Structure formats: C-alpha cells, structure tokens
Amino acid sequence: MEYDERLALFRQTRLNPFDRGEEEDGPQGGKTPPQHEARPELFSGTRTHSSDRTMDLGLAEDHFSRPVGSFVASDIEQLKLAIEECKKLILELPEHSERQKDTVVKLIHLRLKLQELKDPEEDEPNLRILLEHRFSKEKSKSVKQTCDKCSTIIWGLIQTWYTCTGCYYRCHSKCMNLITKPCVRSKVSHQSEYELSICPEIGLDRQDYRCAECRTPISLRGVPSEARQCDYTGQYYCSTCHWNDTAIVPARVIHNWEFEPRKVCRSSMRYLALMLSRPVLRLKEINPLLFNFVEELVEIRKLRQDILLMKPYFITCKEAMEARLLLQDLIDISSGRLSCSLTEIHTTFAKHIKLDCERCQAKGFVCELCKEGDILFPFDSHTSVCHDCSAVFHRDCYYDNSTTCPRCARMTERKQDDISDVKEA
C-alpha cells in the first residue's frame, strides 16, 4: 500500500467507531482535547515537545504480540490509547515527511492488532449458512466494499467480512446475525419468473408505512426514514434496503420497448442480475403485437429458429462435434449487436451444413412437388416445411399445391399396407 493511500485511509477512519478515544464537545460546542497529563507514557525516553518526539512509540511487534492465554481488558485499552497518540502525532508532523509515513504504518499495524483482539480470526469460520445464503469469508483487504446490511464501508484491513456465493450479498461479520432477507438465488432457482406489471404500486398505507424488506418505519417526508420506491416491485423501501441503484426493468421492455434504467432496491437489483441469462420470457405469448412494431425482433426470431433447425444436423455429425460448433452461445447483447452476433452464428452453421460437410449435405431434401432445383434445407429462406412429417419443399411449390404432402401420403399408404398384412396373417 502506497503512503498516500495509507494516509487517506487514516484520514477517513480517524473517527471510526472502532476507536473509543473520540474527542468530546466542549461547553461552547468546540472540541476539548484530552488533557496532556492524561496521555499514557507510550514514548521511550523523556517526554519532549511534539516536534521533537521520538518515533519509538513503544509499539514494537514483541510488545503487542499475543501472549499465552487470552488478552485482558487493559491490553485493549492500551492499544486504543496508542492509536490515539498515533493519530495526534500524524496531524502534528510535517506533511509527507518520513516520520509521518512511519507513523501511518504503525497506526495501521495497531488497528490490525486491535481488530485481532476484538475479532479473532480463528473464531470466524470460512463458510457460514444463513437464510439460504452461503457466506464465504473474504480474504481481500480492499476498502471499496460496502456492507449491504448496515450500509457502511467494510474496512478489509481491520474487519472480517463475508460474501454470499449465490447472490453476492456482502456484510460485516458482526452484521450477519441481523440479516432478515433470504438469498435471492433461491428465489431464482424455485421461482424463475419476472414481475410483468409496470411498477405495481400498492401504496405506503398497505405497507403500514414500513420498509417492505426490513420493516423500518418510513415516509415520503423522510421522517424517520426516506421512502424510496422500487420500480420493479412497486413497493417502498428504506435507504438501507434501497441505494438508488438502477436496472433495466423487464416489464417496461416487454410492454413499452423501453430500456431506460430505473431505480430499484438492492434485492431487486440482485434478482434481475441473476435472471438476466435465463430464457424465461415468451414474448410471442406475452405481447405478440410487439413484433409488428419492432422489425429487429422478427429478424432475430427467424435467425434463432433457423439455428435451432441446424443443431440436429450437428448432433450426428462427427466433424461438427470435433469443431465444437454447438458451444457457440446465443447471447443477448443489449448494445444492439445481437442481430450481428446471431447472423455470424447462422452463417457459420449454414456453411458447414451446405458446403463443408458431405454427411450433413446428405441429410438435405429434394422438393417432391417439382422435383427440380438444388438440395433444400429447412432453414433456407425460400423453403417451407410440412408440419406433420418435416419434409422440405420450395415455398412456391408448397403453397401452390392443392393436394396433400407427398411424403405424408406415402407414409399413410405404408401404414395401411402394414395393417392389411397383419390382418391377413
């Protein structure tokens, strides 16, 4: 960790509730520093003026190493006092001086020691299961995470924290017993469906003027806590459960073809993120009229249908399996490249079936109505497929023909012959 980062960390945490040595308000509202004579004798040698203080704070590793047995309360209090001395000394030393840098490093080590005494690492299991969450203890010392329960920063250097491997819920170790919301992934596994009504609000009165998740009292006036509406569920939440995160709401896309991100609560944001890769929307059944107004949807639907028709060819094709063509994913790309992506996959599949592979070519069809032309495949744009026997014909021949499908007629005749043979036997 660079010096500037350590100094910034110190400045942000100087009033951390972890420390009990906060300054108290004076009679006129000002800050009254602790009395000079009340400071513990942490410095080696005779006490001198602050600018001439020696850097030996008496904080050597051996001095604060864990003795046999458990620490008593006085050891923790001495660490707190030493931390206060370090903080005051850092403010008094010249900016960016070597002495100030060394003091910042010592302050960090002191905080780690204090955390180790208050929250011993060996007492914290690596995996904890709570309300279907599978919490894994994090080893990262990053200071950029925020606790999803108390909404405060997780100081990885001095605090133990966990992340749910299912829904990525993050929290302090001390906050875990306060969690009331089950893991969102369990809902995704057991109930994979979207709310398809646009912001289905029920009103604060129906919620008894309480947060829909933690039941904290809320109001639109912000007293005692601000009520924030989730555009996905339509319900209201407190500022702890709703951080004004934004996400694309499926109901608005389906009904309005609107992709503008809306404010959602934390649990809705996680649920939508986990549901993103699940193909659970039957758009043709929910809003079939949308295909009349969005041309891209018609093109994409045709490409996907063709690709599904191509896949059976690959299942029995050794060359296609060796080329791993079936491992090319159909990924929805919100940036507008979906059509290009599907077109590229479609071209690759069609080239293999119609040009590169003799086995796949042998599975093509000849139009039995005109008995002319090239080999036909069900994914060709100029063909039609019989719904009963899956035979492929030229589209013009199929719709101009007033008789039944030749292949269906042949199969029906064969069945009748088989029945006659059985009766005669």
What is the pairing mode between strands 392-394 and 383-385?
antiparallel
- Tokens representing residue 271 in the block: 């649920």
- Residue 229 β-bridge partners: 236
Spatial CA neighbour of 380 closest among 399, 354, 417? 354
Residue 8: per-residue pLDDT? 56
Q: Can you tell me the mean pLDDT for 171-195?
A: 85
Which region among 28-42, 231-245, 269-283, 403-417 has the lowest average model confidence (pLDDT)?
Answer: 28-42
Going by pLDDT thresholds of 50, 70 and 90, the confidence category of residue 306 is confident
Spatial CA neighbour of 176 closest among 161, 156, 159? 161
Which region among 77-81, 284-288, 398-402 has the lowest average model confidence (pLDDT)?
Answer: 398-402
- Tokens representing residue 233 in the block: 């569920």
Q: Is the dihedral of CA 304, 305, 308, 312 positive or negative?
A: negative
Single-letter code of the amino acid located at 298:
V
* Spatial contact of 368 and 410, defined as CB atoms under 8 Å apart: no
Residue 59: per-residue pLDDT? 42
- Tokens representing residue 378 in the block: 């069900």
What percentage of the chain reaches a pLDDT higher than 70? 74
* Spatial contact of 95 and 68, defined as CB atoms under 8 Å apart: no
223: Cβ–Cβ under 8 A, 6 or more apart, which residues?
none
- Tokens representing residue 165 in the block: 């491997």
Q: Can you tell me the mean pLDDT for 217-229?
A: 89
**Nearest 5°: phi and psi at 63?**
-65, -35
Highest mean pLDDT: which range of 6-15, 19-28, 93-102 = 93-102
What percentage of the chain reaches a pLDDT higher than 90? 16
Going by pLDDT thresholds of 50, 70 and 90, the confidence category of residue 19 is very low
Residue 72: per-residue pLDDT? 41
Whether residue 52 has pLDDT greater than 60: no
- Tokens representing residue 37 in the block: 């004579």
Highest mean pLDDT: which range of 47-56, 117-126, 243-252, 332-341 = 243-252
Q: Which residue has the tokens 């093509």?
A: 364
CA distances from 389 to 75, 317, 375, 411, 412 (A): 84, 22, 18, 9, 11
Residue that wins the pLDDT comparison between 45 and 89: 89
CA-CA distance, 77 to 422, in Å (whole number)? 98
The gap from C-alpha 343 to its chain's centroid, in whole angstroms, comes to 29
pLDDT digits (tens, 9 = 90+) for 112-158: 777 666 654 445 678 888 888 989 988 776 667 889 988 888 887 77
Residue that wins the pLDDT comparison between 169 and 37: 169
Residue 325: per-residue pLDDT? 58
Question: What is the b/e burial string over 85-124, where b = at least 16 CB atoms within 10 angstroms of the residue's CB?
Answer: bbbbbbeebeeeeebbbebbebbbebbebbbbbeeeeeee
Residue 245: per-residue pLDDT? 94
* Spatial contact of 297 and 321, defined as CB atoms under 8 Å apart: no
Whether residue 109 has pLDDT greater than 70: yes
Residue 4: per-residue pLDDT? 58
CA distances from 102 to 1, 2, 7, 50, 320 (A): 13, 12, 11, 16, 64
- Residue 245 β-bridge partners: 264
Residue 74: per-residue pLDDT? 53
Question: By 3-state DSSP, what share of the chain in percent is helix, strand and coil, each rounded to 5?
Answer: 40, 10, 45
Residue 158: per-residue pLDDT? 76
DSSP letters, 265-325, are: -HHHHHHHHHHTT-----HHHH-TTHHHH-HHHHHHHHHHHHHHHHHHHHHT-HHHHHTTG
Q: Can you tell me the mean pLDDT for 52-59?
A: 39
CA-CA distance, 323 to 245, in Å (whole number)? 42
Cβ burial of 151 (10 Å; 0-12, 13-18, 19+) is middle
DSSP letters, 67-114, are: -SSPPPHHHHHHHHHHHHHHHHHHHHSPTT-HHHHHHHHHHHHHHHHH
* Spatial contact of 384 and 399, defined as CB atoms under 8 Å apart: yes
Going by pLDDT thresholds of 50, 70 and 90, the confidence category of residue 248 is very high
